[in-house]
Homo-oligomer: A and B are copies of this chain.
Amino acid sequence: MVIEDLIITPIAFADPPLLNVWGTHEPTALRVVLQLATDEGIVGLGEAPGGASRVERLMQIREHVVGLSVFDLGRIEAVVHSALAGVGVRERLAAYAPLEVACLDAQGKALALPVSDLLGGRVRDRVEYSAYLFYKWAGHDGDSDEWGEALDADGLVAEAHTLISEYGFRSLKLKGGVFDPATEIDHVAQLHDAFPEFPLRLDPNCAWSVETSIKSARRLDGMLEYLEDPTPGIEGMAAVQASSPLPLATNMCVTAFDDLPQAIDRRAIQIVLGDHHAWGGMRRVAQLGRICETWRLGLAMHSNSHLGISLAAMTHLASVTPALTFACDTHYPWNAAEDLVRPGALVFEGGAVAVPAAPGLGVELVESKLAELHERYLSRKSHLRSDAAYRRTREPGFNPTVPRW
């Protein structure tokens, strides 16, 4: 089954004004959808983080994969590396990732097998996700959106209640790095009091110095299952981990295989947050899982703002990865209303998604929605993400530098 075309559709979809260390999510989030058309009429789907340069790199690949078999992933990857020889290996792997997903989707559709079977078979039939809590403005335009404002503990607790009642989540993650550590630790304590049975995580996104991280970790002990990326860099994380009672997790100082030897040697982390979009595809994250198992590291899963194709891929991948011992992150609830896959394939029950049993990823594209989101992309002023610039529309002096405290 040969690739006849790779249709690359940059999209933008509505995103609430979620706050993080770099600023605030803009009114639309950028993503890119791949449709890999084959000579058998089967179309494989892929989804990846968007933005001009990522789309550009996919465009550079396009002509080189036409004519290759969707089963020939070794060669497809080689072609990506050679077409993108001018950029770093991480950028190349990020470009290959959605292509691998689309090929596996096409393979599964052709073979009448779910992607999980192609990856070695499920070790679980349901994949747990955690409720991803954010500080947020009430709305983009001064009015309030359906979620409302969450800039204090009450707002976060209300948000958690909403997410739990709609999705059944059984664990919580707070995106921190927004307020000073004392304030966020107080909010975590209140979340912990409100949901004492729920494992809880905090991700300050490197907002803290080593010293602040150690002090904060000691105060957070007993409230968190892990603390994610309190401070930048492997050496910084190692210094924190050496004096922290909490296990540290990362999707920032370890984002590729090359980062692992030093991180392990320095004992910088206890949990890796994998992400097939960043690590170069689903098979590579399964391999990361074996590494985590071997070095007794935990494995969780990172997420960016995403839609259903990525959720399906994450779910298949998590289902075949024994090392995954934590609920996965997902932004999905924040963007679910904008999804471009046909409803019904991915259902949250008790915070978990059942692995689709249908062929391939098990999701179908709603073409009209794709067209709508592409229009939205075209009408967007810039094709770069800038959370900082958007934050400055309300806080002119905002400075995204980290560590901040």
Contacts and interface: CB of A to CB of B under 8 A. Distances in A.
Interface of A: 71-78, 111, 113, 117-118, 120-123, 257-258, 260-261, 264-265, 283-284, 286-288, 290-291, 293-296, 320, 322
6 contacts: A74-B121, A74-B320, A78-B123, A261-B295, A261-B296, A287-B287
A284 B287 CA distance: 9
Given A260-B294, A291-B294, A294-B261, A283 B74 contact: no
Contacts of A260: 294-295
Contacts of A118: 118
Contacts of A76: 121
A74 to B, nearest CB: 4
Contact of A120 (B78, B122, B283, B295): B283
A288 to B, nearest CB: 8
B294 A117 contact: no
Given A123-B78, A265-B265, A117 B72 contact: yes
A40 to B, nearest CB: 13
B291 A74 contact: no
Contact of A71 (B71, B117, B284): B117
A324 to B, nearest CB: 12
Nearest to A118: B118
Contacts of A322: 74
A291 B294 CA distance: 10
Contacts of A78: 123
A121 B72 contact: yes
B73 A120 contact: yes
Nearest to A286: B287
A74 B294 contact: no
Nearest to A320: B74
Nearest to A122: B74
A121 to B, nearest CB: 4
Contacts of A111: 111, 113
A123 B291 CA distance: 22
Contacts of A121: 71-77
